[in-house]
Amino acid sequence: MSGVADQVTTRREAARANSVSAVADRWSNALQRVPLHIVIIIFCAVWIIPTIGMVVNSFRSVSEMGQAGWWTTLFPPHGFTLASYQQVLNTENVGTSIVNSVLITIPATVIQLAIATMGAYAFAWMKFPGKNIFFIVIVGLMVVPIQMTLIPVLQFFKATGLSGTITAVWLAHSGYGLPFEVFLLRNYLGGLPREVFESAEVDGAGHAVRFLRIAVPMTIPAIASLTIFVFLGVWNDLLVALTFLGTSPNRPFTVVITQLVTSFGGGWQFLTAAAVLQMALPLAVFIALQRYFVRGVTAGSVKG
């Protein structure tokens, strides 16, 4: 019964599509949607303009920034200058800290993902006593704030002689990141088709082979997006680096920027260039790889 009604509706609608009233209808629909557009545009403006403001400021001289807001530079005379960038790059420690950021981020990412993938495979495809308890503990650990662990971990590094080394920060980040990664990868790995593994097992492939030649290749999308996620998290981290490397020459860019804040006090203007430099890499990474990022993040949480 509804099928006929549907057909009638469609035909009638098709007949009306070209009449004047149809056009008017479409216009009024569009107008009703004007509030929608306005709201969306306002949100987009609030979300983008602050960043644009700072980027514009990074190209102005310090005295100008103290006298008028960034929007005035958009009108002539422009007064753009690279002075802030030169200042920041000439500041002691900045160059080293950027290198340190890279040296901290990449290995930390690699280490934790390697360990997490192995562990996730075990939790996903192997049965063993106490598996559930271990997994619950790991899942539970996802909510533990890092601050809870700082003091003992500090003592641990002191005892093992790793204080102030970049290695310490790799290990710390790995430890803190593992719960979430194991959780996510375990969900993903668990969703892989059982038959593929079973037929490989029948063919005589041991767990190592099944892991390396089947599980890992099939998990690449999740690993790829998780890589981006972890990479960004470590690159942008302040607390872990500040606590474990605050005084060390190995400290990364985020810590140096924060220390510059305290040193210049009112000279926030100098920091615009530093901030732009610090955000450049994550933004570039994100823009280039956004597909993987979204896909992987949703894969873990939306599933099931």
Partner 1 sequence: MDQIITAIGAIVLVPLVLLGYILLGERVIERLPERIQEWFRPYFWALPAIGFATIFMVYPLLRTVVISFRNNADTTWVGFDNYVYFFTFPSTLTSLRNSLLWLVFYTFFAVGLGLIIAIMVDRVRYESLAKIAIFLPVPISAVAASIIWKFMFDYQAPGTTQTGTLNALLGVVGHEPVAWLVNSTTNNAALIFVGIWSATGFAMVIISASLKAISSEVLEAARIDGANEFRIVQLIVTPLLWPTITVIGTTMIINALKTFDIVYVLTAGAYDTDVIATQMFSQLAHAHFSRAAAVGVVLFAAIVPLLVVNIRRFQQQEEQR
Partner 2 sequence: MSEVFSRLSSRAIALSLGALLLVAACGGGSSNNSSSGNATSVTQWVAWGGAELQAYRDVLKPFTASTGITVHITTNRDSTNQIANGIISGTDLPDLAPSTTDPIQLKDWVTKGALKPLESFLDMSAYTSGTYPALTTAPGGAADDPYIGIIGGKHYMLMIKTQVKGLIWYNKKVFTGTAPTTFDQLLAINPSQYGAQKLFCAGFESGTASGWPASDQIDNIIMRQNDAAFYTSWIQGKVKFTDPQIKLGYQTFLKEVSAANVYGGSNTALTTNFGKAGDPMFKTPAGCLFLEQATFISAFFTQDFPGTKAGTDFDFFGHPSMGSAANDGNLNGFYDNVAMYNDTPAARKLMQYLATAPAQQIWANDGGTLGAIKTLTYTDPVFKRAAEVANTAKNLLVTAGDFMPSDMQAAFWKSLLDVTKDPSSLNAVLAHLDQVQAAAYKAS
Both tokens assigned to 246: 């605050």
CA distance 245 to 260: 15
Q: Which does 259 bind (CB under 5 to 8 A by kind): partner 2, partner 1, none?
A: partner 2
In the bound complex, what is the minimum distance in angstroms from residue 158's beta carbon to partner 1?
13
Q: Which of 95, 175, 221, 267 binds partner 1 (CB under 8 A)?
A: 175
In the bound complex, what is the minimum distance in angstroms from residue 157's beta carbon to partner 2?
7
213 Cβ contact partners less than 8 Å away, ≥ 6 residues apart: 200, 205
By beta-carbon proximity to partner 1, the closer residue of 20 and 120 is 120
Q: Which does 247 bind (CB under 5 to 8 A by kind): partner 2, partner 1, none?
A: partner 2
Q: Tell me the DSSP string of 55-71.
A: HHHHTS-HHHHHHS-GG
By beta-carbon proximity to partner 2, the closer residue of 149 and 248 is 248
Tell how far CA 152 is from the center of its chain: 28
By beta-carbon proximity to partner 2, the closer residue of 141 and 205 is 205
CA distance 170 to 102: 12
CA distance 94 to 276: 13
Q: Which residue has the tokens 């892991």?
A: 211
90 Cβ contact partners less than 8 Å away, ≥ 6 residues apart: none
Secondary structure, 3-state, 134-186: HHHHHHHHCCCCHHHHHHHHHHHHHHCCCCCCHHHHHHHHHHHHHHHHHHHHH
Contact flag: residue 261 with partner 2 (CB under 8 A): yes
What are the C-alpha distances in Å from 187 to residues 135, 182, 201? 12, 8, 21
In the bound complex, what is the minimum distance in angstroms from residue 185's beta carbon to partner 1?
10
Cβ-based neighbour number of residue 103 at 10 Å: 16
Both tokens assigned to 30: 């569009």
Q: Which of 83, 106, 162, 224 binds partner 1 (CB under 8 A)?
A: 106
Going 161 to 164 to 170 to 173, the CA torsion angle's sign is: positive
Contact flag: residue 174 with partner 1 (CB under 8 A): yes
Which span sits near partner 1 by CB under 8 A: 14-22, 87-95, 130-138, 219-227?
130-138
Nearest C-alpha neighbor of 118 from the set 218, 171, 185, 173: 185
Contact flag: residue 133 with partner 1 (CB under 8 A): no
Interacting positions 60-119 with partner 2 (CB under 8 A): 66, 91-93
Question: How many residues form the binding site for partner 2 (CB under 8 A)?
Answer: 37
Contact flag: residue 221 with partner 2 (CB under 8 A): no
In the bound complex, what is the minimum distance in angstroms from residue 146's beta carbon to partner 1?
7
Q: Which of 15, 23, 36, 196 binds partner 1 (CB under 8 A)?
A: 36
In the bound complex, what is the minimum distance in angstroms from residue 87's beta carbon to partner 1?
15
Contact flag: residue 195 with partner 2 (CB under 8 A): no
Contact map string, positions 130 to 159, toward partner 2, x by CB under 8 A: ------------------------x--xx-
Interacting positions 135-154 with partner 1 (CB under 8 A): 135-153
Contact flag: residue 197 with partner 2 (CB under 8 A): no
- Tallying the residues shown for the chain, one arrives at 304
Binding site for partner 2 (CB under 8 A): 66, 91-93, 154, 157-158, 161-167, 203-205, 208-209, 213, 243-250, 259-267
